[in-house]
Amino acid sequence: MHFSPIDSFYLEEAYQRIHYYPPPYYGMYFAPWLWYDGNQHGGFDYMLWESMITGRMAMPAPVTITMWGDYTPSTGEGTVNVHLQNDSTATINGRVIVVITEDSLYYMAPNGVNWHNHVPRDYLPDHNGSLVSIPPGNYAIVTQPFTINSIWNDNYCTILAWIQNDSMQVDTTMEIWQGGMKKVTELGIEEVNTDVKSSQVLVMPNPCVGETRFVFELPAGLEYTIAIYDVSGRHIRVLERISPGERAAVQWDVRDSKGQAMSSGVYFYEFTSQLVNTSGKIVVR
């Protein structure tokens, strides 16, 4: 973030977000400075940053994040959904932060840096984010509308989301359990003058225990089929429905066509309709 209010890339929300952490440098906030994974001890030595970030990324995470949504380039408006799956055996209570950033911005900064990336443009809904509580094996979905300002280049805009421990550790770290990112232009593009939306099929939760859901959106009256197979290709179950014309969540109780519960393992699905045809895997625990 940019500290000076006279800087064209200054964002008050970003300034407040930095001050969410204790001052790391002799009681002062210092730029440039690395806060990584909620750890305010990153310092201002560029040479050390990569190893810190790489080491943290290699550690296992208790949360899986999936992001999807829609975006209309002509209006700059869209919606992003952040699905947070708790893969651990304990309830996770945290704060979900969602922010739009922009890359490839030119500005002759006093420190000699002219090109700037990951510049925060807007926090959704603000820098305080959203509080969530996710039981073990369960999930939460945070949905945020957004608008891309006409002066931003949407081709260089990315939506970042992360879930963070709101309780400060003894070393003043506020741990981030997991993060995700999605380019704005990679969201489903909403068609103009039609009721049909670009759609994808999400399986939530995945991995699952006892049940999972296929989440998607199709026009009203459109027939679709969800076929489920085991790793040998054996047909397990077929779910046939007609779309209600809104976002649907079709449940699979992890049983075959005879009502027999499936054992732990990997299964595959095929989603078939006139508009959307896709496949994927489901992990049953």
Residues in the chain: 285
What pLDDT does residue 193 have? 33
Q: What Rg value do the Cα atoms of the chain yield, rounded?
A: 22
What pLDDT does residue 126 have? 96
CB–CB of 91/133 below 8 Å?
yes
- The pLDDT-based confidence of 198 (bands split at 50, 70, 90) is very low
CATH number for the region 202-284 comes to: 2.60.40.4070
What pLDDT does residue 274 have? 80
Report whether CATH 3.40.50.2300 matches the domain 12-189. Answer: no
What pLDDT does residue 194 have? 32
CB–CB of 133/88 below 8 Å?
no
Among 13-17, 161-165, 228-232, the range scoring the smallest mean pLDDT is: 228-232
Query: Tens of pLDDT along 216-256?
Result: 888 888 889 999 998 777 889 999 998 887 778 899 999 99
Work out the average pLDDT over 117-144: 93
Q: Helix H segments across 71-217?
A: none
CA-based diameter of the chain, in Å?
70
What pLDDT does residue 36 have? 82
Between 118 and 32, the more confident residue is: 118
Give start-end residues of each CATH 2.60.40.4070 domain in the chain.
Answer: 202-284
Q: Which two structure tokens, joined as six digits, stand for 141? A: 């979905």
Work out the average pLDDT over 111-126: 89
In sequence order, the 6+-apart residues with CB closer than 8 A to the CB of 123 are 13, 14, 17, 97, 98, 99, 100, 129
Among 121-130, 156-165, 224-233, the range scoring the smallest mean pLDDT is: 224-233
Give start-end residues of each CATH 2.60.40.10 domain in the chain.
Answer: 12-189
What pLDDT does residue 279 have? 81
What pLDDT does residue 191 have? 36
Between 78 and 194, the more confident residue is: 78
> Does the reported pTM lie above 0.75?
no
What pLDDT does residue 61 have? 87
63 phi, psi to nearest 5 deg: -130, 140
Query: Tens of pLDDT along 57-103?
Result: 888 889 988 888 889 999 999 999 898 989 889 999 999 999 999 99
| Residue 226, strand partner residues | 239, 271
Q: Which two structure tokens, joined as six digits, stand for 83? A: 């699905």
Task: Tell me the average pLDDT of the chain.
Answer: 87
